[in-house]
Amino acid sequence: MDSEFNSFVQQQIQIKDTSIHLVEAGNKSKQTILFLHGYPENWEAFKDLMNILKNDYHVLAIDLPGIGKSEKINSSDKFSIAVFVKDLIEKLNLSNIILAGHDCGGMITYSFIRHFANKVSKAIIMNTAIPGVEPWEEVKRNPHIWHFAFYAVPNLPENLIEGKQRLLFDYFFDTLPFIKNVFDANKRERYVAAYADPLSLKTSFDWYRSFPEDEKENSTYKEVSVPVLYLKGDKDFGDIEDYVKGFRKNGLKNIQGKIIANSGHFASEEQPEEVAITIDNFISN
């Protein structure tokens, strides 16, 4: 494992009956940013970004429940995971944090600010569509995200993919980023290891199986005044303005969008310096 991991403190935090893997860097007296990863990754999705930001911020990331070194919780819908994140924030005695999520982590972040806005000062949502929020229906028709429907099938994905995670993950790491070489063999193997346990694999599929529940939860209008930054790679699917309009239509009153140049779906890994600058500007202003 490369030396870039040396600056992080890694520990297990007990939240009620669940042990969660927490990774930390920076000065605790500074503004806290908590990162929530997506699929098919773990906390390491933010390693490079955290290494840049740690000099000016207190940066935290977790393995989502059921992934990597974190134990599973009973529910996979994004609101239930957001409740768990709230419990973590309270356990750590944090307040007015910046919550940032990528992919499924962005869906959790969206649910969080709708229900627990008083826990955050700002939020960042990266490279994701939100179930029930425009342009969700258009996104589901994109043939490159065929896995949304496939993972929703009970049991079949587990039976076909268990033991072949590397083959599956290679597909995503080969097709979704614009900068391909950020996913070297060692990083791919570490991500595969985070989903090697059959329970971890099932947990990730359950995120997709809960989309109908997420859609129902998110589709109702709810006004949110928390400042939100929506980040998207310029090579990622869709027009960023469609996403920003959807957020506004659903109640986010203080939302802004920012394109990350020369980036696909994994912006924080493809262009960590640009993402760090963008986040810093958003927080500072």
pLDDT tens digits, 196-244: 999 999 999 999 999 999 999 999 999 999 999 999 999 999 999 999 9
What does the alpha-carbon distance between residue 153 and residue 150 come to, in Å, rounded to a whole number? 6
| pLDDT for 4 beyond 80 | no
**Element housing 231 (H / E):** strand 228-233
Q: pLDDT-derived band of residue 5, with 50, 70 and 90 as boundaries?
A: confident
CA angle at 74 for the pair 10 and 88, rounded to the nearest 5° = 40
Local confidence band at 245 (pLDDT 50, 70, 90 cut-offs): very high
Q: For the packed helices 104-115 and 78-91, what is the interaxial angle rounded to 10 degrees?
A: 70
Contacts for 195 with CB less than 8 Å, ≥ 6 apart: 40, 67, 165, 169, 201, 204
pLDDT at 81 over 70: yes
- Are 267 and 259 spatial neighbours (Cβ–Cβ below 8 Å)? no
Token reading at 152: 């929703």
Decide: 17 and 240 in contact? Cβ < 8 Å.
Answer: no
Look up the pTM and report it: 0.97
Q: What's the pLDDT at 144?
A: 86
- The total of structural domains in the chain comes to 1
Sheet of 97-102: strand order equals: 9-15, 18-25, 58-62, 32-36, 97-102, 120-126, 228-233, 255-260
CA angle 267, 270, 272 (to 5 degrees): 75
Over residues 139-146, mean pLDDT? 91
Q: How far apart are CA 165 and CA 161, in angstroms?
A: 6
pLDDT score for 191:
99
- The answer, yes or no, to whether residue 267 has pLDDT greater than 90, is yes
| Identity at 90, one-letter amino acid code | E
What is d(CA 170, CA 165) in angstroms, rounded to the nearest whole number? Answer: 8
**CATH number, position 68:** 3.40.50.1820
What is the span of the domain harbouring residue 98?
3-284
State mean pLDDT over 99-118: 99
